[in-house]
Amino acid sequence: MNIEGGIDSIMKRIGVLTSGGDSPGMNAAIRAVVRKAIYHGVEVYGIYQGYAGLISGDIRKMELGSVGDIIHRGGTILYTARCEEFKTLEGQKKGIEQLKKFGIEGLVVIGGDGSFAGAQKLTEHGFPTVGVPGTIDNDIPGTDFTIGFDTALNTVIDAIDKIRDTATSHDRTYVIEVMGRNAGDLALWSGLADGAETIVIPEADHDIDQIISRLQRGQERGKKHSIIVVAEGVGSGMDFGREISERTGAETRVTVLGHIQRGGSPTGFDRVLASRLGAKAVDLLLEGQAGVTVGIENNKLVHHDITEVLQRKHSIDLDMYRLSQELSI
């Protein structure tokens, strides 16, 4: 959708919210939205607690100073929530009523696919939205990277480096379960970056017998420790650990990294990505675009229709997966 008109003639007041699981860099994106809008002479209202705050009207005006000193902070100053009520027509109507009450004419939604589904609904009801991909899972089509993925990746790498030290000292096998929901990006990238012996991801079939024989081959040539990275979308790391321990006899430990992966100061990459995507979202809204998501592809800012993005299936670079196998023979 593209409405004719100059930036000033389209909107005077926009809103911004974060929704779903938080991710490092969301604050940098909020900052970019607020500053870019004010730069264009447009007022910005922050909606707290995601769609839950939209329904209840937890909405406050933001100024330049509201987003000072946050670019380096993890989490989200607007807070976030997963909101079941907004999945209903009634919830969506309540949200639109609040937007009207506050005179908000367009909305930037920062979050993952669940958040985008809410934004799509608002657009279907005639309310302009732009989605900014923020999730550590890197599972949103239409962008090479989501905000927070790089930071989470580096958190996982740091953790695996530490685990490798103790795995080496004790001659142990370690199974490390990483987040990603149904996507294997965090597992694949961290496993490749850490030289894991085995990476198990939902996007590629795995054979436990092959994993065991690979470990046994390693044991036969004197290898005493191994790192196995398992994406949570494949199943429980504990189950993998138990089976490996029983079948190889190797002393095995399991670490579930959990929510540590969602916190921390965003990396430089995530701060820059968030700043670029947040500012682009404002430009698109003010140009009259609605029902689109922003993204980065080959280091260029792009936008796509939100319905198309939600319909597309997330994919992974299988060449990278094959490379990880080739390098860990």
In whole angstroms, how far apart are CA 127 and each of 119, 121, 233, 291?
9, 9, 34, 9
Alpha carbon distance 262, 20 (integer Å):
12
Of 28, 52, 179, 199, the one binding ligand F6P (CB under 6 A) is: 179
Q: Is 172 in the site for ligand F6P (CB under 6 A)?
A: no
Q: Is 111 in the site for ligand F6P (CB under 6 A)?
A: no
HEC string for 40-87: CCCEEEEECCHHHHHHHCCEEEECHHHHCCCCCCCCCCCCCCCCCHHH
Interface region with ligand F6P, contact rule CB under 6 A, candidates 59-67, 130-138, 169-177, 203-211: 130-138
Of 15, 106, 133, 180, the one binding ligand F6P (CB under 6 A) is: 180
Which residues partner with 26 through β-bridges? none
The residue among 99 and 187 lying less far from ligand F6P, judged by its C-beta, is 187
Radius of gyration in angstroms for the set of CA atoms belonging to the chain, rounded to a whole number: 22
CB of 65 to ligand F6P, least distance (A): 30
The residue among 168 and 182 lying less far from ligand F6P, judged by its C-beta, is 182
Q: Is 109 in the site for ligand F6P (CB under 6 A)?
A: no
Within 8 A by CB and 6+ apart from 41, the residues are 8
Residues 222-251 interacting with ligand F6P (rule: CB under 6 A): 232
Residues 5-44 interacting with ligand F6P (rule: CB under 6 A): 21
Q: Is 159 in the site for ligand F6P (CB under 6 A)?
A: no
The residue among 19 and 267 lying less far from ligand F6P, judged by its C-beta, is 19
The residue among 26 and 290 lying less far from ligand F6P, judged by its C-beta, is 26
# residues near ligand F6P by CB under 6 A? 10
Within 8 A by CB and 6+ apart from 268, the residues are none
Of 34, 109, 136, 196, the one binding ligand F6P (CB under 6 A) is: 136
Q: Is 112 in the site for ligand F6P (CB under 6 A)?
A: yes
Interface region with ligand F6P, contact rule CB under 6 A, candidates 53-61, 71-79, 176-184, 215-223: 176-184
Structure tokens at 79: 């807070």
145: helix, coil or strand? coil
Alpha carbon distance 75, 63 (integer Å):
20
Q: β-pairing, 292-297 with 226-231?
A: unpaired
The residue among 182 and 210 lying less far from ligand F6P, judged by its C-beta, is 182
**Residue given tokens 């993998």 in the structure block:** 240
Q: Say which of 113, 137, 150, 194 is annotated catalytic.
A: 137
Catalytic residue list contains 137: yes
The residue among 139 and 197 lying less far from ligand F6P, judged by its C-beta, is 139
Compute how many other C-beta atoms are within 10 angstroms of the C-beta atom of residue 1.
10
Closest Cα to residue 111, out of 278, 300, 284? 278
Binding site for ligand F6P (CB under 6 A): 21, 112, 135-137, 179-181, 232, 262
Active site residue ranges? 137
